[in-house]
Chains A and B, each alone.
Chain A
Amino acid sequence: MEEKEIIPVPDEQQEYVINMGPQHPSTHGVLRLLVSLKGEMVKNIQPHVGYIHSGIEKMCESMTYTQIIHLTDRMDYISAHINNEAVCLNVEKALEVDIPDRVKVIRTIMSELTRLQSHQLWWACFGMDLGGLTCFFYGLRDREKILDIFEETCGGRMIVSYNCPGGLMYDIHPNFQKRVKDFIKYFRKILPEYDQLLTGNVIFHERTKGIGKLTKEDAISFGVTGPTGRASGFSCDIRKHEPYSAYDRVQFKEILFTEGDTFHRYVARIEEMWESMNIIEQLIDNIPEGQFAVKMKPVIKLPEGEYYQRVETARGELGVFVISDGNKNPFRVKFRSPNFSNLSVLNHIAKGFKIADLVAIGGSLDLIIPDIDR
């Protein structure tokens, strides 16, 4: 047998490539990261998406506009209501129908409740990623209260299907206002507990402060939106810049930080929870009387053309682009989903940090994988 010479690879060129995912608890879904390591240091990350590609965009082409709603529910399933709202607003814009004030206000309240429960779940998971299992239980306990509100009014807990082109599927439940007010009162007391438990924790500080810095320029060039972008100082809140529904009649702050590290992405979401509660409080007592939906034709046909609508989901900017050829089905639907752009920045900000920091950074981006693989 011929003897083979083994040439040792120089130390600085050695790389160890591992798969993180597709089944990894801290990727929060079926995301596979190909991580190149040098010792414990992350040298390169290659995200592989498509493990749960559901073809939602393609399926939309064979659905009517009312049926699309049940698909967008399943895209970013934590902020289902806001996704639905985007499609409905787009259809309403194309048909130039006037939406009653009541619908606008209810949609806004529901959107903010969705944002609240999304951030609660994120807080719970983020705490768990960093080793604080208690957070997971407390976060889910409070989220349960919002899900109950959803269940009573919409009939579904996460997959609400409450919007429809022209308004809402049903009117709000008679208990709705009281329940929401009770919840706000309750959660205003509980949210400081989140701070005591996690925000002030010294271990948490050590693991998040200065980790995974994202500059404003990079946030803009990668298209990172939502709380992640705003923590880097990129003012990208669609609710402020292009108010839809009832956001033009409420006062709220856009949460902006300049540091852009993991800790400030965290604080940005906590602060957004306070703002969401402010918005709900301004609206909950003045839901105007009126219809909960305008009567639409049984088969909705958009006039020929291209339509685009942006909304602010809990994770960033969601854009819905529809090309219509005048039929009852859209010709092409494209979703600009926030998570896809937010994932693209992961390699850039996690390079040079330890693999444990990768979990913290990934958690702070708040990725929902079906939204990437739509």
Chain B
Amino acid sequence: MRSIINYLKEIILGVWSLLKGMKVTGSYFFRPGTIITQKYPSNRKDLVMFDRFKGEVVMPHNEKNEHKCTGCGICELNCPNGTIEIISKTIITEDGKKKRAIDKHIYRLGMCTFCALCVKTCPSNALAFSQKFEHAVFNRALLIKTLNKPGSQLMKGVE
């Protein structure tokens, strides 16, 4: 007799535990808004990433097409996996001195691990992170970027 009662009790408690779980899922069924995290492809237009988000390394230029990179090569040295390659050139300044300057700042997005060491160690704050995160391209060669724009110059006052 006792075993039958225990058996029935087990069944009822078991079903009750299932119902308790279904209460939770059922309540969400009527308020679906609370279980959505991101409606990603459809909210693409007004999706704002956090301003510290590490999307890709960029070199901000001002409206006169000037950047702050002096071509010192510290970012290349600090990058753990050879993502950055600095090709520098020698220029003659107005007062006739020879000076090292950036020719090409090559950045391989496909290799970057977003560790932020380059941005942090750059002595003249020439690098920054952009918030762009949709990096997919059809051709791998497009992932190799030159960060300094063509014809750009060193900003006045940056040594």
Contacts and interface: CB of A to CB of B under 8 A. Distances in A.
A144 B115 contact: no
A231 to B, nearest CB: 22
B117 interface: yes
Contact of A151 (B21, B24, B53): B53
A144 B117 CA distance: 26
A203 B52 CA distance: 45
B7 interface: no
Contact of B116 (A140, A151, A169, A193): A169
B14 interface: yes
A153 interface: yes
**Interface size bucket, A side?**
35 or more
Contact of B52 (A153, A159, A197): A153
Interface residues of B, number: 28
Interface in B25-51: 25, 35, 37-38, 49-50
Given A138-B35, A152-B52, A153-B52, A70 B115 contact: yes
A26 interface: no
Interface in A176-235: 193, 196-198, 200-203
Given A138-B35, A156-B114, A200 B20 contact: yes
B20 A159 contact: no
A193 B37 contact: no
B21 A69 contact: no
B78 A66 contact: yes
Main secondary structure of the interface of A (DSSP, over half): helix
Q: Which of B23, B37, B49, B120: most chain A CB closer than 10 A?
A: B37
B114 A161 contact: yes
A24 interface: no
A69 B115 contact: yes
B80 interface: yes
A200 B18 CA distance: 8
Contacts of B24: 193, 196-197
B113 A134 contact: no
A196 B78 contact: no
A144 B34 CA distance: 13
Nearest to A148: B50
B13 interface: yes
18 contacts: A63-B80, A66-B78, A70-B80, A71-B80, A144-B37, A148-B50, A151-B49, A151-B50, A151-B53, A153-B52, A161-B115, A170-B52, A193-B24, A196-B23, A197-B21, A200-B17, A202-B15, A202-B18
Interface of B: 13-15, 17-18, 20-21, 23-25, 35, 37-38, 49-50, 52-54, 78, 80, 113-117, 120-121, 129
